[in-house]
Amino acid sequence: MKLISKLGVAGLVLGLAGSAAWLIAQEERPIFRVKVDMVVLSFTVTDSKGRYINGLKPSEFRILEDGIPQKLNTFAEGNKPALQMMDDGTAKTLAGGTEGPSKPGIDPRSDAFVGTNVFVLFDTSNFMYRGFVYAEDAIADFIRGLDRADSVAIYTFSRNVKRNTELTKERNDAIAGLRSSVVGDDTALYNALLLTLRDAAKVPGRKVIIVFSNGPDNASMVAPDDVRAVAEDEGIPLYVISTNEVNKDPISSSVFRRITSRTGGKAYFAKSWQKQVEAFESIREDLGNSYTVTYYPQPNPNEGFRKIAVEITSDVGKKYRLRYRPGYRPRSGF
């Protein structure tokens, strides 16, 4: 923490968010320590009728981890520029834009503070054969409708995952990547989701993953809940649009519901093209109406699961409903 206090906030985000803080003395055995990165937390506020509540101020929120109040580092609403929270409680607008070393799947120009990094994971396995072209159309529409500030990456998967388009703000590139998909092979949804999460985790700022899949997985080696745990720990909400009907595959459906709700995302069951378009519209609304805060956790001896709570301090806010991930496990590192 000493190190943190000596560096500027922007530098911290770059330097710590993705790095492993392993401590190793020369010629000594590496020791794993619990490592606490900056926490990125997205949440939505809705009223009793499910309408998004906008315009709330940073001071109206209280973030707790295991009951310990946290000091906000940045605060952003929708795709508006993020605010940096100063020590005196004031806020100032952050200028985005960073340059950094390029990593696989990562566009180094991705903006850490403005917009959302949207990873679309599109099922191109044999299960999607029938509805493939309609799904492509729906995703293409979604990409076109994204906020200008958002970046989008298109990944496809069957037995393996493929990075069709890496994170970009160029909609045409994303759509061209989408249209280059090839259909066929087994469905390893959770393997693919894990790899997408690993890529997304390397990107600074706010990010979400939208899975478009028919549902049944017949080739993954990792369990949905292990993948969910990674998403939860990395603070990446998962959205799933399943083209399967709920009652056709109840196990898939319940897994989808669980992994999305536990990460702060949502599951949609949309068999028809129209329903798929509606699902994408709903996700877009979610992205545009959610709040994102960052903070460096206060000292906490708990090295296991840390429970997050978001509270609205005003009386009127007590009637609102908040949706966010329930917590995370701090990473282990050397």
Partner 1 sequence: MKVLLSVVLVCAAFAPGSLGQDVRQMERSGDAAGVRAALASVVQNSPNDVQALANYAEFLDRHSDPGARAAYGKLLAALKNAGNAARTQAVARRLAELDLLAGDRASAARSLDAFRAANGKGLDLPAAPASSAVDGPGMIEIPGPLRSFARMAAVSSDLGPDDLLAALARNVVTNGYQASHSNDALEQTEYLKLVHRYLSQARELDKLAGEKKVIEISNCESKEAGDLLRIIGYRMRGGCGSEVVLETVNASRAFLTTDSGFPLANLEQALRTNRPFTYDYHPTRAPVMYGADYWLTGKEKGAEFIDNFLSDPSLCRLYLGLSKLDRDTAAELRKAMPAPRIKAFAHVLDFFGGMFEIRDGKAIVPGGEKTAAAWAELAGAPPSQGAAFFEKLLARDDGWLASLFDAMSRMSGPAKDYLTDPARLKRFYTAIRGRVTSPGPARPVFRSNADMMLLTTRLRVDANGRAHIPGGLEVWKNLFVNHPHGKYDGKLTKSAVGWKEPEDVLEALFGLSRKAVENEPLKIFMAVSDLDRNRAKPLEPDTVDKLARNFKIMGSQYAIFNDAPAVSDKTVVQFLDTALAISKIKDQLLRADTAGTMQALVGLWQIFSRQGLLPAASADASLSSILGSFAQIRADRDLFDGGRNGVTILLKATGTKDGVSPHDRLVDLLSGTGNPTDIETHGTMVKDAIRVLEAQHIVSLKTLFDLADHLESLGKGEKLNTALVNRFASRISEIQLPRAALTTVEKNAYAFGYWTERHVENQRKVNLRATIDRAAGNAEKLKDARGLMAPFLRDTLVAFNYAHYAPPGAQILYTNPLFVRGHDFLGVQGSNHTWRATEMFGTGWPSNGGGRLVGSLSGLAYALAEAEQNFLIPSQTQALIWADLVPQMILSAKIPRWWNTTPAQMHWIGLHMRYGQTLLAEAALDSTQRAALLDALSAYAAPARTRAIAGLLAAGDAKGAAENIMPAELYAVAADTVARRKDTAGPLLSEIARLRAEVPNQVSNETISRAFGTPKPTLANSYRPELLKLRTFPTLMGYSSRIMAESWESNTLYWVSLADEVHASPGQLNVLIPEWTRRVVERIFASHLEDWPALLRSLNIVGEDVRAKSRSGAAAEQKASLQ
Contacting positions for partner 1 (CB under 8 A): 22, 27, 29-30, 32, 130, 132-134, 136-137, 140-141, 144, 158-163, 172, 175-176, 178-188, 190-191, 194-195, 198, 216-227, 230, 250-252, 254-255, 258, 304, 332, 334
> Which residue type does 290 have?
S
Q: Using CA atoms, how far apart are residues 116 and 112, in angstroms rounded to an integer?
A: 9
* Min separation Cβ 330 and partner 1, Å: 12
Distance, in Å, from the CA atom of 255 to the CA atom of 247, rounded to the nearest integer, reads 13
Question: Is the Cβ of residue 19 or residue 22 nearer to partner 1 in the bound state?
Answer: 22
**Concatenated DSSP letters of 186-246:** ---HHHHHHHHHHHHHTS-S-EEEEEEE-S--SS-SS-HHHHHHHHHHHT--EEEEE-S-G
Q: Give 159 or 271: the residue with its C-beta nearer to partner 1.
A: 159
Half-sphere exposure of 319 (CA within 13 A, CB side): 9
Q: Between 124 and 294, whose beta carbon lies closer to partner 1?
A: 124
| Residue burial 302-312, b: 16+ Cβ < 10 Å; e: rest | eeeebebbbeb
- What phi and psi values does residue 26 have, to the nearest 5 degrees? -55, 125
**C-beta of 58 vs 326, nearer to partner 1:** 326
Q: State the nearest-atom distance from the C-beta of 198 to partner 1, in Å.
A: 8
Of residues 12 and 227, the one with the C-beta less far from partner 1: 227
For residue 37, the Cα-to-chain-centroid distance in whole angstroms is: 15
Q: Dig out the tokens for 130 from the structure.
A: 């029938």
CB of 277 to partner 1, least distance (A): 10
Cβ of residue 32: shortest distance to partner 1, in angstroms? 5
CB of 99 to partner 1, least distance (A): 21
- Closest to partner 1 by CB, 227 vs 283, is 227
Q: Which of 277, 279, 252 is nearest to 265 (CA)?
A: 279
Q: Tell the smallest beta-carbon distance from residue 274 to partner 1 (Å).
A: 12
Residue tagged 């509805």 (tokens) = 131
Q: Which is nearer to partner 1, 89 or 304 (CB)?
A: 304
Q: Report, in Å, the least distance between residue 181 CB and partner 1.
A: 7
Closest among 72, 67, 85, 73 to 300, alpha carbons compared: 67
